[in-house]
Amino acid sequence: MREKMIKSSLLLSMFNRFDFLIRVMYSRVPFLRDAIRAILFNKLYARSGNYCYAMHCRIVAALKRARIPIKNSVVLEIGPGTSLIMGIGFLLKSARKIILVDKYPRWDRTNISEDIEYLKEKVKKDAMRFFESDFRPRADRFFYAPNSVEDMKDVPDGSVDIIVSAGVLEHVTDMDTAFREMNRILKPRGVMYHYISLADHYNFDKPFKFLKYSDRVWNTLLTKEGYSFTNRLRSDDYMDFAGRYGFKLLDVERGTGLNLDSCKLHKKFAEKNREDLETINLYALFRKT
């Protein structure tokens, strides 16, 4: 345990000293990036059963507080990644159908088998009825759209009751178009719940470290769509987009990071409201008006 802590502290110290170089190398040196991804895929992209189930429970609780019914609803999950636990969880709550939107799908039959076993142990319910014998999702319960959130072309207008996402919107490049698309596919008075991680994804020990760079440096050198991209939007930016596209806030929870006083911030961020800057976890439920 002590050795792990020492290694961890050494890695953090190295990153804190050379974060610019490390970001450039991962974002802009393809052979190095691919090697790191091959070695650390699970650490970089896999979602644990505990994380997905906890997020599902949190969303269900927010929907319950707002008196939003799940039964017979069409639920769309943006970016499920390696796990279908959230979608399966909604089916177990009597949702009618799950739409999975993911430009970079990473689940496979092994993941699905593990998800089913996890839920069987966790909630004592067998979700196998939503899948074929070889663990392929049943077509009458799941629909997969290989789209980005900015262009959900395979999802018809006004066809969705509930949109959910967890740790996805911070990776979206064109947020304006994304909110327009979410408004388009939701039914009148449909709702959407998003968990957004606003911290530096390279260094959770220093969640504001990436706010010291200008947009020009960040976007041209230090991040890349599909690999390491984070848009660095703050909580007020998301609220502005929601309001612009006719969404009313129904429920919000915020988690804050360390004190900002010791952090170096680019002037773009230094001028922002302190609460919006310090929010590193945003959980928000909106209704389409």
Helices (H), the chain: 2-28, 30-45, 49-65, 85-92, 109-123, 175-185, 215-217, 235-244, 267-270, 274-278
- As a whole number of angstroms, the distance between CA 120 and CA 125 comes to 5
CB 86 within 8 A of CB 49: no
Confidence (pLDDT) at 8: 60
SS3 206: coil
At 186, which helix (H) or strand (E)?
strand 186-197
- 3-state SS track over 82-142: CCCHHHHHHHHCCCCEEEEECCCCCCCHHHHHHHHHHHHHHHCCCHHHHECCCCCECCCCE
Q: State the Cα–Cα distance between residues 51 and 162, nearest whole angstrom.
A: 20
d(CA 30, CA 110): 28
pLDDT value for 159? 99
Residue of 75, 278, 50 lying closest to 159 (CA atoms): 75
How far CA 190 is from CA of 34, 101, 283, in Å, comes to 40, 17, 17
Contact present, 151 and 177 (Cβ < 8 Å):
yes
Q: What is the pLDDT of residue 44?
A: 56
pLDDT tens readout for residues 166-183: 999 999 999 999 999 999
For the sheet with 74-78, list strands across it. Answer: 142-145, 97-101, 74-78, 160-166, 186-197, 279-288, 247-256
| CA–centroid distance for 132 within its chain | 28
Report, at the CATH architecture level, how domain 47-198+233-288 is classified. Answer: 3-Layer(aba) Sandwich (3.40)
Q: What is the pLDDT along the chain (289 residues), one digit of tens a residue?
A: 333 433 466 767 777 788 899 899 888 888 888 887 766 555 556 789 999 999 999 999 999 999 999 999 999 999 999 999 999 999 999 999 999 999 988 888 999 999 999 999 999 999 999 999 999 999 999 999 999 999 999 999 999 999 999 999 999 999 999 999 999 999 999 999 999 999 998 876 788 999 999 999 999 999 988 777 999 999 999 999 999 999 999 999 999 877 777 788 999 999 999 999 999 999 999 999 9
Q: How far is it, in rounded angstroms, from Cα 190 to Cα 192?
A: 7
Q: CB–CB of 135/112 below 8 Å?
A: yes
Question: What confidence score (pLDDT) does residue 2 get?
Answer: 33
Residue 166: in which H helix or E strand, if any? Answer: strand 160-166
Q: What is the pLDDT of residues 17-27, one digit of tens each?
A: 888 998 998 88
User: CA-to-CA distance for 166 and 157, rounded, in angstroms?
Assistant: 23
pLDDT for 40 equals 59
**What is the pLDDT, as a whole number, of residue 221?**
94
